[in-house]
């Protein structure tokens, strides 16, 4: 449930409500809006005397939260969450549309720095690249691991881009959170609940990809795990789902973007690279994603896609990224955004 305070409630009056809520064994999350403060109360409400809370000074009303995900829902927080990423604190979820681009995997210092320079020049705000790679086959390239993280740090120092990289397991959370600006939780791990909780305590923004077979509600409940563990800095990323269709690697359901904007205040990125599996389909899906209201894009870019160690077929060249950016800007402007 949400306790809505009247406009002008003092800090002490809000604290009094928090104390009452805690007495009933509920967890409190205070959200300061532009004109009023609300206290979201999470936990078992059966033993709560709602009347007592309702009668507390400067309480306006109590409303139930109907969505199963609570803190992630627009019922609790109507204003959109902006997640500031990287050395330049670029706000994902605001008026500006942010592009995070880079190779599927960090393959070498030369490959990453070359890509980083190119994506920075193209106007990206973040650099992606897996140091730890979750691969379908155990015989595929698994990533440079710690060495990859070192190279990513160097790329940030050189370009000022925000570093986005995946933690594939519990052991990787700490090193990734230390090296990166955003900790990515991959599609395969969307329902790895202990990992979500660890991400909730990592102290860095979290990029949560949608599981290829997860419903929106399951995805938002996964986000709820991260928020509930203490981290409100969550960015969602639609990366396509598994269907019967075979001309694409995954099917990219762009209707998720407007639906998510209704259900959650969290920013939403779209990843048309994994979402199609084919570089030639990526630019059109980028245009469509921005038109649909996405807060940004997560893109695979490789200086030599033909020789990439992973996901070359879906990787844009730096030239293709640069070429696409001016059109994307125009689409962003047409839907009231900036790029
Ligand atoms: C990735 O973005 O590096 C990745 C592995 O994607 P996903 O988890 O969506 O498959
Ligand atoms: Mn990839």
Question: Tokens 């996964």 map to which residue?
Answer: 222
Question: Strands 98-102 and 296-300, how do they pair?
Answer: parallel
- 130's tokens: 């897996």
DSSP letter at 106 equals -
Residue 122 CA to residue 286 CA, distance in Å, equals: 15
What confidence score (pLDDT) does residue 50 get?
A: 87
The protein residue with its alpha carbon nearest to ligand 1, atom 9, reads 187
Reading phi first (left if > 0) and then psi (alpha if -120 to 50, else beta), residue 167 is in beta
Whether 210 is in the pocket of ligand 1, judged by its Cβ within 6 Å, is no
Residue 46: per-residue pLDDT? 80
Q: Considering every ligand atom shown, identify the ligand nearest to the alpha carbon of residue 129 and give its number.
A: 1
> Can you give the pLDDT of all 339 residues of the chain as single tens digits?
999 999 999 999 999 999 999 999 999 999 988 888 999 998 888 878 889 999 999 999 999 989 999 999 999 999 999 999 999 999 999 999 999 999 999 999 999 999 999 999 999 999 999 999 999 999 999 999 999 999 999 999 999 999 999 999 999 999 999 999 999 999 999 999 999 999 999 999 999 999 999 999 999 999 999 999 999 999 999 999 999 999 999 999 999 999 999 999 999 999 999 999 999 999 999 999 999 999 999 999 999 999 999 999 999 999 999 999 999 999 999 999 999
Distance 311 CA to ligand 2 centre (A): 5
Residue nearest to atom 6 of ligand 1 (CA): 186
Cα 76 to ligand 2 centroid, rounded to whole Å: 34
- Distance, CA 137 to ligand 2 centroid (Å)? 13
Query: Which residues neighbour 183 within 8 Å (Cβ) at sequence distance 6 or greater?
Result: 165, 166, 167, 173, 176, 177, 199, 202, 204, 205, 206, 207
Which pLDDT score is estimated for 45? 80
Measured between alpha carbons, how far is 286 from 316 in angstroms, rounded to an integer?
A: 12
Domain boundaries, the chain: 2-63, 83-334
Give me the pLDDT at residue 172, please: 98
**137 contact partners, CB below 8 Å, separation of at least 6:** none
pLDDT of residue 160: 98
Domain range 83-334, its CATH number among 3.40.630.10, 3.30.70.3400, 3.20.20.70, 3.40.605.10: 3.20.20.70
Q: How far apart are CA 261 and CA 296, in angstroms?
A: 13
Q: Is 2-63 assigned to CATH 2.60.120.10?
A: no
Greatest CA separation found in the chain? 68
List for the chain the helix, strand, coil content (%; round to 5): 40, 20, 40
| pLDDT the model gives residue 205 | 98
Instruction: Give the global pTM.
Output: 0.95
274 alpha carbon to ligand 1 midpoint, in Å? Answer: 7
CB 261 within 8 A of CB 294: no
């Amino acid at each position: 449930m949400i306790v809505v305070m009247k406009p002008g409630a003092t800090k002490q009056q809000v604290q009094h409500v928090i104390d009452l809520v805690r007495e009933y064994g509920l967890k409190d999350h205070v959200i300061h809006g532009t004109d009023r403060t609300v206290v979201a109360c999470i936990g078992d409400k059966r033993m709560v005397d709602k009347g007592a809370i309702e009668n507390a000074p400067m309480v306006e009303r109590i409303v139930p939260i109907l969505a199963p995900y609570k803190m992630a829902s627009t019922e609790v927080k109507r204003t959109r969450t902006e997640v500031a990423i990287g050395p330049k604190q670029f706000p994902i979820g605001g008026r500006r549309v942010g592009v995070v681009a880079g190779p599927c995997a960090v393959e070498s210092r030369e490959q990453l720095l070359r890509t980083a320079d190119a994506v920075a020049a193209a106007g990206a705000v973040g650099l992606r690249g897996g140091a730890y790679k979750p691969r379908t086959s155990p015989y595929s390239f698994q990533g440079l691991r710690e060495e990859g993280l070192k190279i990513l740090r160097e790329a940030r120092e050189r370009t000022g881009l925000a570093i986005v990289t995946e933690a594939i397991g519990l052991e990787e959370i700490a090193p990734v959170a230390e090296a990166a600006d955003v900790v990515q939780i991959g599609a395969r791990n969307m329902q790895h609940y202990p990992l979500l909780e660890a991400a909730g305590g990592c102290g860095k923004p979290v990029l949560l990809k949608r599981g290829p077979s997860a419903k929106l509600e399951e995805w938002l409940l996964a986000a709820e795990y991260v928020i509930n563990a203490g981290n409100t800095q969550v960015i969602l990323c639609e990366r396509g789902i598994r269907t019967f269709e075979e001309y694409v690697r995954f099917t990219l359901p762009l209707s998720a973007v407007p639906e998510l904007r209704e259900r959650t205040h969290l920013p939403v990125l779209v990843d048309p690279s994994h979402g199609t599996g084919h570089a030639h389909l990526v630019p059109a899906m980028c245009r469509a994603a921005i038109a649909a209201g996405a807060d940004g894009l997560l893109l695979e870019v490789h200086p030599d896609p033909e020789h990439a160690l992973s996901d070359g077929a879906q990787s844009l060249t730096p030239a293709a990224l640069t070429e696409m950016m001016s059109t994307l800007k125009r689409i962003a402007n047409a839907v009231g955004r900036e790029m």
